[in-house]
């Protein structure tokens, strides 16, 4: 049925407009037109949005878990349904379930589960993020170093085997031969640098080989120093790459994130959560690599004191971007939707409120809390 969404402050292009209406047909946005357009009032089901903020649905490229489930622990379709449903309550309408470093059989199961979830049209699942295992022991964070390895030809083929969705692979460029990075890119994998002890020169070589972005900037990577720019310096200097940032006030100081905003061209920073099972769950505890980890005051650390993902959701990340980083809501919304879509080469159908795009939307109230979402035109209250 045709739906007409009206009476919202809609992010249309670069600004919010309160004089537009949006028409949804067959899961897509068929028209964005003036609210006073003749005949609009009888064009279909009329939905009054009560003056709320209407944004493109959030796209999270780094989601380890949610709703009490962790992808590594049970890599199947049921887990993906649970994770996607938990994050949808916080405005995420598309995500990459993220598998941190693990054995090859777990990788194979995770890729197969993602393929099946997309085939079954599980709402919100658009691909997979393989975060490791081709990363650096010196910057392992909470990853299990016993899982780390250098990919051979068979693993390159496995990593690139998802044929119905996006594959994002985080690796350490100093640990993976440049020809392997090129082979992954040629097979359609989006490669990001992360969990890396690489020098500036090694990162630059990786960028030239096809690395497209950086995973959770500042965390688990060689820092920017006066005589050694490291991975952080290479990321901030490069004009073309994207960087994911975790805006929870814990992973990175807001001042450091404001430096990144000043250094990179507009459109190259995207919000990620790095979320773990406590998001959307009542239980703050979960098991990772056989260890019980508990979120305390929203902070997730393992027994060694390393940050073990986060308890952040995308709606909170957007609010924090406004409050902690001083960004206008329109820009924070683009960092949660438009820029991730561009990073994933999906901005021809996601990340915008525009005619022809999939009707993935999020409605916020005046406190920037989620009232409801649409995925392919199907509404669900938060």
Give the residue numbers marked as catalytic.
Answer: 274
Listed in sequence order, the residues at least 6 apart from 108 whose beta carbon sits closer than 8 Å to its beta carbon are 158
357 is in an annotated binding site: no
Picking from 269, 342, 358, the residue whose alpha carbon sits closest to that of residue 27 is: 358
309 is in an annotated binding site: yes
3-class state of residue 295 by DSSP:
strand
* Token output for 42: 């009888």
352 is in an annotated binding site: no
194 is in an annotated binding site: no
Listed in sequence order, the residues at least 6 apart from 137 whose beta carbon sits closer than 8 Å to its beta carbon are 145, 148
- The answer to whether 19 and 334 are in contact (CB under 8 A) is no
195 is in an annotated binding site: yes
Identify the H or E element spanning 119: helix 104-119
Distance CA 193, CA 211 (A): 7
308 is in an annotated binding site: yes
Distance CA 298, CA 279 (A): 9
- Residue 222 DSSP class: P
- Residue 139 DSSP class: G
- The answer to whether 370 and 380 are in contact (CB under 8 A) is no
307 is in an annotated binding site: yes
3-class state of residue 14 by DSSP:
coil
251 is in an annotated binding site: yes
Cite the annotated binding site for substrate by residue number: 142, 219-220, 227, 251, 307-309
Cite the annotated binding site for Zn(2+) by residue number: 131, 195, 216
Cite the annotated binding site by residue number: 131, 142, 195, 216, 219-220, 227, 251, 307-309
């Amino acid at each position: 049925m045709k739906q007409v969404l009206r009476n919202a402050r809609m992010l249309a292009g670069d600004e919010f407009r309160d004089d537009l209406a949006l028409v949804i047909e067959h899961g897509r946005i068929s028209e964005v037109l003036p609210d006073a357009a003749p005949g609009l009032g009888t064009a279909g089901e009329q939905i009054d949005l009560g003056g709320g903020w209407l944004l493109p649905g959030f796209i999270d490229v780094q989601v380890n878990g949610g709703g009490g489930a962790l992808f590594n622990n049970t890599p199947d379709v049921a887990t993906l349904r649970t994770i996607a449903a938990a994050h949808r309550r916080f405005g995420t309408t598309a995500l990459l379930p993220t598998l941190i470093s693990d054995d090859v059989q777990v990788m194979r199961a995770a890729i197969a589960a993602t393929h099946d979830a997309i085939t079954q049209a599980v709402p919100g699942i658009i691909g997979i993020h393989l975060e490791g295992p081709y990363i650096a022991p010196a910057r392992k964070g909470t990853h299990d170093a016993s899982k780390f390895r250098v990919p051979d030809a068979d693993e390159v083929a496995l990593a690139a085997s998802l044929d119905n969705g996006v594959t994002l692979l985080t690796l350490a460029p100093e640990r993976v031969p440049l020809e392997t990075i090129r082979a992954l890119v040629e097979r359609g994998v989006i490669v990001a640098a992360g969990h890396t002890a690489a020098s500036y020169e090694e990162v630059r070589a990786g960028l030239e080989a096809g690395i497209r972005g950086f995973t959770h900037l500042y965390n688990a990577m060689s820092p920017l120093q006066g005589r050694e720019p490291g991975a952080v310096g290479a990321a901030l200097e490069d004009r073309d790459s994207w960087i994911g940032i975790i805006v929870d006030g814990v992973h990175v100081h807001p001042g450091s994130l404001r430096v990144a905003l000043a250094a990179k061209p507009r459109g190259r920073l995207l919000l990620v959560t790095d979320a773990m099972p406590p998001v959307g769950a009542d239980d703050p505890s979960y098991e990772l690599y056989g260890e019980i980890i508990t979120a305390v005051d929203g902070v997730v650390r393992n027994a060694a004191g390393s940050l073990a993902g986060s308890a952040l959701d995308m709606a909170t990340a957007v609010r924090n971007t406004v409050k902690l980083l001083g960004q206008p809501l329109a820009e924070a919304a683009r960092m949660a939707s438009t820029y991730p879509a561009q990073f994933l080469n999906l901005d021809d159908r996601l990340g915008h409120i525009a005619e022809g795009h999939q009707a993935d939307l999020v409605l916020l109230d005046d406190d920037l809390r989620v009232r409801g979402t649409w995925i392919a035109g199907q509404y669900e209250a938060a």
